[in-house]
Chain A
Amino acid sequence: MNRSLRWFVLFLIAAFCGHFALTTLYSFQSVPATEFMRYVSTRYSAPLFHQNWKLFAPSVPEYDCQLEYRFPENGKWSFWRDVSAGNGFSYNSRIETLEQSLTSSLAWQIANNLYSRNQRAQFDRIVSSFDYQRALFFTHTLHGRIQPAPIQDSIQVRVRFRFTPAMDQAHSSQVSHLELPVYSYQP
C-alpha cells in the first residue's frame, strides 16, 4: 500500500471526525462543554457550516400570527391590512414566508418583553428591539414598492393572533390583536 495514500486517508478520517464533532457541538448549544470548546465550535461552524434543525421542534406554536398595518390616509386611519396579502401576495409566496418569519420573532418579543406598569402595557423594550424595527422596515418598504402612494408620516403595526384550540376541544379559534405604538417618520 502506498504510504502517502495511507497518511492521506488518516488525515481525511481526522478531518471528518473533527468536522462532525465541532458541528454537532454547535448544533446542540445545551450540551455541556467548556467555554473554549464552545468558542471553537462556533467559530468553526458559523457561518460556513451553519445549521439549524429546530423547524417544528421541540414544539409547534399553538397560534397562527399575522402582521397587519395601517397608516393615515385622507386625514384618517386606513383600515388594517395584512402586510403580504394586503399587497397582493398569496399565502404560499416567499413574501409570506418573510412575513411569517419576522412576525414570529416579533411574537417572541411580545411574549418576553411586554410588561405592565401602573396597569398600563409598556412597549419600550419591544419597540427598541431589532425584531420590531425589522418588521416595521419590511412593512413600510413593501407598501412603498407595491402601492402607488407611499406612506407619508406615520405607520402602526399590530400582530393578529389566532389561537388554536386544544385538540379535544371545540374547533373554534380565538382571535386577538396586539397593537404596537404608532411610529412617526421624521419630516
Chain B
Amino acid sequence: MMERLDNWIARLTDPALRASVLRLFPVAVFSWMVINAFMVWDVRDMLWGSDTLLMRYGATLGLIENVVYKLMYVPSIFPVIYFGHVACSLAGIWNWKWAFIPRTLAWFSGLMLYFGAIPAFNSGMLLMLLLAFYSIPVFVGASHSFRRVLNQFSWYAGALQVLLCYLFPSIYKLTGEQWLSGEAVYYSLHIERFSHPVLRNGSFLENDFLLLTLSYFAFSYQVLFPLMVLWKKHRGWFLLIGVGLHLFIAIVMNLWDFGLAMIFAYVLFLGEGSSRFLEKSFLIRSKQIPKNS
C-alpha cells in the first residue's frame, strides 16, 4: 500500500507530466476572464457603477460574505475592482513563479464582480471562477517537488469540476420530463433570448424531427461526457463534437460566455500532442522543464 502510494507520488513529481496541459490551463481560464470582462465593457457602469440598474441588498452573514459583496455596498470602488480584475487576469495568464498572487486577486475580484451583478451572469462564469481557484498554484517549471505535486492536484480538481459540471445538470435533467421526451431544445429555442432571429424567422422551429434529434443529441452528450472523456482512444473526437455543440449554444442561443467557458475548459482533457499544438499555435513560450530530481 505504502509502496503504491510512493510510486504514485513519484509520478506526480515528474515535471514532464501534463506539462503542456498545465501551461494551457491558466491561459484558458484567465483569457476567458479577460474576454468576459470586455464582453460587458459597454454596460459595465450599469452593472456595477454607482448608478447601477440593480437594486442593492445586504449580506450580513460574516466577514467573507461582506468582502465578496463589497461592490453591493460600495459601488464607487467598482473601477478599481473591474480594472484590477482585468490586469490580474492578464498577469495570471503567464506561467511564472509568482503568478499565484495575481491569480488569487483575479479569482477574488471575479467573485466580487459576479456577486455584484448576479442576474447578468450564468453558470459559465461560476465554472470559470472555480477553475480559476484551482489553477492558482499552477507553475510549470517548478523545481520543488511540493509545487509539482500541487500542479497535478490543480489538474485533478479542474478536471473533476468539469466532469461534475456535466454530471450534476444531467441528474437534474433526468428528474424532469422535457429532456427525456426530447422537447427541451424546442422550448429553449422558443424563448426569444435564447434564439437567433434567423431561426425564429425561418422554418427551423417547425421541424420537430430536427429539434427532437438536437435535444437527444445534446442530452446524450452531457450524460456521456464523464465516461467518454476518460476513454483516451476517442477523446479527441468527442471533445471536437463538444466544441461544435458549445459553439451552437454560443452562436444560436446567444450564450457566448457559457459556450466559450465550456470550450476553454476542454484544455484540461487534451492529450500532450494536441496541447503542444495549441501552445505553438498561440505562441505560448514553453519554459525549460527541469529534470526530475
Contact = CB atoms under 8 A, between A and B. Distances in A.
B229 interface: no
B206 interface: yes
A50 B153 contact: no
| Chain A interface category by residue count | 35 or more
A59 B184 contact: yes
Contact of A55 (B68, B156, B169): B169
B275 to A, nearest CB: 23
B282 interface: no
**What DSSP secondary structure best describes chain B's contact surface?**
helix
Nearest to B181: A167
A25 to B, nearest CB: 12
A145 interface: yes
Contacts of A27: 164, 168
Contacts of B227: none
B198 to A, nearest CB: 12
Contact of A64 (B5, B133, B168, B190): B190
B165 A94 contact: no
Interface residues of B, number: 70
Contacts, number: 159
B191 A55 contact: no
Contact of B120 (A2, A52, A97): A97
B191 A134 contact: no
Contacts of A28: 168, 171
Given A91-B193, A137-B55, A58 B64 contact: no
Nearest to B157: A16
B5 A6 contact: yes
B202 interface: no
Contacts of A52: 123, 126
B43 A95 contact: yes
B205 interface: yes
Interface in A1-51: 1-2, 5-6, 8-9, 12, 16, 19-20, 24, 27-28, 46-51
Given A5-B146, A100-B193, A141-B51, A56 B184 contact: yes
A64 to B, nearest CB: 5
Question: Which of A16, A56, A97 has the most C-beta atoms of chain B within 10 angstroms of its own C-beta?
Answer: A56
A57 B172 contact: yes
Nearest to B197: A91
A61 interface: yes
B9 interface: yes
A150 to B, nearest CB: 12
Contacts of A16: 153, 156-157
A163 to B, nearest CB: 9
A171 interface: yes
A130 B64 CA distance: 24
Nearest 5 CB-CB pairings of A with B? A58-B176, A101-B119, A57-B172, A53-B168, A59-B176
6 contacts: A28-B168, A47-B65, A53-B169, A58-B172, A66-B192, A171-B205
Given A1-B10, A52-B126, A58-B179, 17 more contacts: A1-B6, A6-B5, A20-B160, A28-B171, A48-B111, A58-B178, A59-B176, A64-B193, A91-B193, A91-B197, A100-B193, A101-B119, A101-B120, A134-B55, A141-B51, A164-B187, A167-B186
